[in-house]
Amino acid sequence: MSTSGLARRIGLALAAPLLAIVFSLVITSFVLLTIKANPLDTFQAMITYSGQARVQTLIINSAVTYYFAAVAVAIGFRMNLFNIGVDGQYRLAAMLSAAIGGNIVLPGPLHVLVIILTAVLVGAAWAGAAGLLKVRRGVSEVISTIMLNFIATAVIAYLLAPGKLAVSTAGSNNIGTRPIPASGQVPGIGLVPGSQDKVYGLIVLAVLVGVGFWFLVNRTRFGYDLRATGMSESAAVASGVDVKRMVVYSMLISGAVAGLVGIPELVGAAYTYSLDFPAGLGFTGIAIALLGRNHPVGIALGCLLWGFLDNSSQILNLRDVPVEVVQITQGVIVLSVVVAYELVRRYRLVAIQRDVARQLASAGSTVQGASA
């Protein structure tokens, strides 16, 4: 009974994402057929291309960046809080920590630590504002974080100007913060064999954040309160959880992790926050958190899938297929995965009801009672 139950649980947990991925591949195939491209050849080309060590490094690097964004979103999701503002939080955090990192000189590890701490604090502050507005003034965090995203854009545009925090980059009309000196840079790790390119050194931090997230949610009282609030706020209140404090704390933690999103790129490759610093990763994080079911391992797999789609699609340029087709794939995955989770949830409810009914029936007919 219990082993088959476990097998069914795992099967059901995997069913939804797999269903969504298959469904999105079907849709993508249709899209490809409409522009007279062979879907199988296209997928084959992407997979072959991702076999190159260089591309694999890119995929992992993308995944590291996405991981922070998705975990930041997932912390909120676990208690039904929507941190749509990861986007603004990480951009502001990356910009300010880049500005500070480029203007100080400190011995090696300490310099990096200052950059990371700045990012964490800025991210937490920007998200914490939304948390405070929610508990003090009853403002929905969905709306306030969206507004804070745009306000962050304005603040960045204001500060990232010559004479304020920016200097012009030599040989281009791009501007950015003063480059971070060598003591604040984190060397890459040669993780992929046979490649000159290196994986961001802060992949270590991503792993730590993943483990920390798992520990926090599953092994601490805070995490228990977090999950309890997410499942039923009224029940959590009845059992003594201070929901308002939980809202503020989880927004602070979510923002702190969000602050890290831009840091691997900042201290590992770019060394400056310039006008072309990647934007929009907060929304990628939302998509991946949904796909990975807010679970640290699920999110990691989702990040690799996203990294694969984003990077291996570059080959499509050579095959006269618009690269943008993977954005359709990603959009369909997000939408269909939430539908699939909902369907699986309903199926599970029905299955539980059926099991209980069966057990009650057998308990009634035999004196031995239920053996589950």
Partner 1 sequence: MSVVSAPATAPAGGPAPDRPRRLAGWRRIAVGAAILIVIMSAIRTITGAGDLTSSGTIGAALGLAVPIGMAGLGGLWSERSGVVNIGLEGMMILGTFGAGWIGWQHGPWAGLVAAIVFGAVGGLVHAVATVTFGVDQIVSGVAINILGFGVAKFLATTLFVGTPGGGSTQSPQVDPIGTFSLTGDLLKPVEKHGWFLVSDLAGILGGLTTQVSYVTVLALLLVAGTYLVLWRTPFGLRLRSCGEDPYAAESLGVNVYRYKYIAVVVSGALAGFGGGFLAIVAASIYREGQTGGRGYIGLAAMIFGNWRPGGLLAGAGLFGYTDAMQLRSEDAVHALLLLICLGLLAMAVWLGVRRRFLTAVVALAFGALFGWWFLSSDTVPSQATFATPYVTTLLVLALASQRLRMPAADGAVYRRGAGR
Q: Which residues bind partner 1 (CB under 8 A)?
A: 31, 35, 82, 84, 133, 137-140, 142-144, 146-148, 150-151, 153-155, 157-158, 283, 286-287, 290, 322-325, 327-328, 330-332, 334-335, 338-339, 342-343
From the CB of 353, what's the least distance to partner 1, in Å? 14
- Of 37, 91, 21, 110, the C-alpha closest to 281 is 91
Query: Closer to partner 1 at the Cβ: 342 or 355?
Result: 342
Query: Closer to partner 1 at the Cβ: 157 or 238?
Result: 157
User: By three-state DSSP, how is residue 12 classified?
Assistant: helix
Q: Are 141 and 130 in contact (CB under 8 A)?
A: yes
Up-side HSE of residue 271: CA atoms within 13 Å toward CB?
14
CA distance 326 to 171: 33
Burial class (CB in 10 A: 0-12, 13-18, 19+), 354: exposed
Query: Closer to partner 1 at the Cβ: 150 or 215?
Result: 150
From the CB of 137, what's the least distance to partner 1, in Å? 5
With a CB cutoff of 8 Å and minimum separation 6, the contacts of 39 are 28, 29, 32, 33
- Of 302, 361, 369, 317, the C-alpha closest to 21 is 302
Query: Closer to partner 1 at the Cβ: 45 or 192?
Result: 45
Query: Closer to partner 1 at the Cβ: 153 or 169?
Result: 153
From the CB of 285, what's the least distance to partner 1, in Å? 11
> CB pairs under 8 A, 24+ apart, for 156-162?
156/91, 156/92, 156/95, 159/95, 159/96, 159/99, 160/95, 160/273, 160/275
CA distance 358 to 15: 25
Query: Closer to partner 1 at the Cβ: 116 or 281?
Result: 281
Query: Closer to partner 1 at the Cβ: 38 or 183?
Result: 38
From the CB of 362, what's the least distance to partner 1, in Å? 29
From the CB of 32, what's the least distance to partner 1, in Å? 10
* DSSP bridge partners of 167: 176
Relative orientation angle of helices 53-77 and 296-312, to the nearest 10 degrees: 140
From the CB of 264, what's the least distance to partner 1, in Å? 23
